[in-house]
């Protein structure tokens, strides 16, 4: 007789979990390769060796190293977005000044945490991958802020700017570039830039 249906059913989650674990191993290896060797220098063989698995198993999950690198970008951005969601959920109703302080601090923290990864992307000759990373991050964060934070803001305050998504996208990309090239910029200066751009100077305290 075959195995009971309940045994087969319980096996599938275990297989799925094992598959996710292997995929995570590959993504961790790809991210480490990008940081340590650069995106252009890594190969399927070097990724497989670092992840302690065979090339054939790698190809079971990803068709090329570029596809795996793209998945890493999405994974890193997922982590960014989770932190932005946490910030959004923790905002105090009506306290725009504190919300902006916390947002600026979060952005500085994210850029500091992400430094080795994105700077390796930018500095290894794979400029296209770096541009994809910045574009996807800015796109997803801008959409989230416009769809959530800005809608909450709209219920209590006048929005003085137009082209909301485009403004936030430009602001995020610009601040990333500014903070990368001028790492000593103060959070107070970043706060002023954001407040002036969004025209919320009258709702926050600026140094």
CATH number of 5-203, picked from 1.10.357.10, 3.40.50.2300, 1.10.10.10, 2.30.30.230: 1.10.357.10
Ordered by start, the domain boundaries in the chain are 5-203
pLDDT of 13 reads 53
Q: Which percentage of the chain shows pLDDT scores above 70?
A: 89
The predicted structure's pLDDT at residue 171: 97
Q: Residue 2's pLDDT is what?
A: 46
pLDDT digits (tens, 9 = 90+) for 106-129: 999 888 877 667 777 776 656 778
Q: 59 or 14: which carries more pLDDT confidence?
A: 59
- Asked if residue 17 has pLDDT above 80, the reply is no
How is residue 51 annotated by DSSP?
H
- Does residue 64 have a pLDDT over 80? yes
**pTM for the structure as a whole:** 0.85
Mean pLDDT of the chain: 89
pLDDT score at 70: 94
pLDDT tens-place string over residues 68-83? 999 999 999 999 999 9
Residue 56 confidence (pLDDT) above 60: yes
Residue 84 has pLDDT above 80, yes or no: yes
Contacts 24+ apart (CB under 8 A), 27-36: 27/68, 27/71, 27/72, 27/75, 30/65, 30/68, 30/69, 30/71, 30/72, 31/72, 31/75, 31/76, 31/117, 34/69, 34/72, 34/117, 34/120, 34/121, 34/124, 35/116, 35/117, 35/120, 36/120
């Amino acid at each position: 007789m075959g195995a009971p249906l309940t045994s087969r059913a319980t096996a599938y989650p275990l297989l799925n979990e094992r598959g996710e674990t292997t995929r995570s191993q590959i993504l961790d290896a790809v991210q480490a390769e990008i940081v340590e060797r650069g995106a252009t220098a890594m190969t399927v063989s070097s990724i497989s060796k670092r992840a302690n698995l065979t090339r054939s198993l790698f190809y079971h999950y990803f068709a090329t190293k570029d596809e795996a690198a793209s998945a890493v970008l999405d994974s890193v951005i997922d982590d960014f977005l989770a932190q932005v969601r946490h910030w959004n959920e923790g905002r105090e109703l009506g306290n725009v000044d504190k919300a902006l302080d916390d947002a600026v601090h979060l952005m500085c923290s994210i850029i500091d945490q992400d430094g080795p990864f994105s700077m390796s992307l930018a500095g290894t000759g794979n400029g296209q991958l770096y541009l994809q990373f910045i574009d996807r991050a800015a796109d997803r964060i801008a959409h989230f802020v416009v769809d959530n934070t800005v809608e909450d803001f709209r219920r209590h305050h006048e929005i003085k700017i137009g082209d909301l998504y485009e403004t936030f996208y430009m602001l995020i990309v610009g601040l990333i570039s500014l903070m990368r090239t001028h790492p000593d910029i103060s959070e107070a200066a970043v706060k002023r830039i954001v407040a002036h751009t969004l025209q919320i100077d009258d709702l926050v305290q600026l140094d």
